[in-house]
């Protein structure tokens, strides 16, 4: 029964995270009031990196994303979410039409977590950027993501820096690059590509018409790998 103006004054003294995580979805009346609050109406980016979330706290985040109508950028880097909590997270994203950028850097995500993300990408049509750097998806996790790239038509930035991806993983990526017409930026620094992986990559680039940026630092490509890339370009 509090006047809307008074509730807005209370919201003025709360941070964005408290509003989103503690006040949203408490009741329909409060949701209606928050919907008219000026800070909430312009809240399109949420940075909750490096907060070291506990498992029992994560359901509140999933509930927020499940009913999200405003957030387009979510930064969850350095939170050690792990594979199982990644499954819970991506289940809220499968059919979302709002979120565009998702940062999951350094979250202890392995090949199972990559599989869950791939499943979400099959159905999500808005995510344009995913950052997975400093995880451990390996070549098997890369294969799962590649299957998603064969169907997804929205993702244009994929960051896989330092994920223990070997030449086999690049072989899967190469196959996707030959068919994918959406991906613009691919980051593969600090993996284990080597000359063989560079050969696969070069094969994929020969027929790719979409990719505009690729990062390959610290991959032991060598002189022969450089020659292969040069010929493909």
Does pLDDT of 54 surpass 90?
no
Is residue 28 very low, low, confident or very high in pLDDT (cuts 50, 70, 90)? very high
Is residue 63 very low, low, confident or very high in pLDDT (cuts 50, 70, 90)? confident
Are 169 and 203 in the same domain? yes
Question: Do β-strands 45-47 and 185-187 pair in parallel, antiparallel, or remain unpaired?
Answer: unpaired
Residue 57: count of CB within 10 angstroms of its CB: 11
Mean pLDDT on 176-187: 92
Is residue 207 very low, low, confident or very high in pLDDT (cuts 50, 70, 90)? confident
Are 133 and 225 in the same domain? yes
Are 196 and 83 in the same domain? yes
Are 154 and 76 in the same domain? yes
Are 22 and 83 in the same domain? no
CATH of the domain at 88: 3.80.10.10
Are 36 and 96 in the same domain? no
Q: Domains in the chain: how many in total?
A: 2
CA distances (Å), origin 206, targets 36, 53, 155: 52, 43, 21
Q: Of how many residues is the chain composed?
A: 233
Dihedral sign, Cα of residue 103, residue 61, residue 44, residue 154: positive
Are 227 and 114 in the same domain? yes
Q: With 0.85 as the threshold, say if the pTM is over it.
A: yes
Is residue 205 very low, low, confident or very high in pLDDT (cuts 50, 70, 90)? very high
Are 30 and 92 in the same domain? no
Is residue 15 very low, low, confident or very high in pLDDT (cuts 50, 70, 90)? very high
Which two three-digit tokens encode residue 63? 């509930």
Which two three-digit tokens encode residue 12? 């003025």
Are 65 and 148 in the same domain? yes
Rounded CA separation 51/202 (Å):
40
Does pLDDT of 51 surpass 90?
no
User: In the structure, how many helices (H) and strands (E) does the chain have?
Assistant: 11, 7
CA angle 215/218/223 to nearest 5° reads 90
Are 131 and 22 in the same domain? no
- Whole domain around residue 36: which residue ranges? 1-43
More confident residue, 2 or 137: 137
Are 97 and 181 in the same domain? yes
Which two three-digit tokens encode residue 56? 């029992």
Are 33 and 115 in the same domain? no
What tens digit of pLDDT does each residue of 129-171 get?
999 999 999 999 999 999 888 888 899 999 999 999 999 999 9
Per-residue pLDDT, 103: 97
Does pLDDT of 193 surpass 90?
yes
Last residue of a domain, one of 43, 60, 76: 43
Per-residue pLDDT, 125: 84
CA angle 126/92/21 to nearest 5° reads 110
């Amino acid at each position: 029964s509090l006047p809307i103006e008074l509730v807005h004054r209370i919201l003025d003294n709360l941070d964005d995270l408290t509003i989103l995580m503690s006040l949203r979805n408490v009741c329909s009346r409060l949701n209606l009031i928050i919907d008219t609050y000026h800070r909430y109406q312009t809240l399109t980016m949420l940075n909750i990196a490096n907060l070291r979330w506990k498992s029992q706290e994560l359901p509140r985040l999933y509930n927020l994303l499940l009913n999200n109508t405003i957030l387009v950028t979510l930064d969850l880097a350095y939170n050690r979410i792990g594979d199982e909590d990644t499954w819970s997270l991506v289940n809220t994203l499968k059919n979302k039409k709002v979120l565009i950028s998702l940062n999951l850097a350094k979250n202890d995500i392995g090949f199972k977590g990559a599989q869950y993300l791939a499943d979400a990408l099959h159905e999500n049509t808005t995510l344009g950027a995913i950052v997975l750097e400093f995880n451990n998806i390996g070549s098997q996790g890369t294969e799962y993501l590649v299957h998603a790239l064969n169907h997804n038509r929205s993702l244009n930035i994929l960051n896989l820096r330092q994920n223990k991806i070997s030449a086999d993983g690049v072989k899967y990526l190469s196959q996707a690059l030959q068919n994918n017409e959406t991906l613009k930026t691919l980051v593969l620094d600090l993996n284990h590509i080597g000359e063989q992986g560079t050969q696969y990559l070069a094969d994929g680039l020969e027929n790719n018409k979409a990719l505009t940026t690729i990062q390959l630092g610290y991959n032991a490509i060598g002189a022969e790998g450089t020659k292969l890339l040069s010929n493909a370009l």
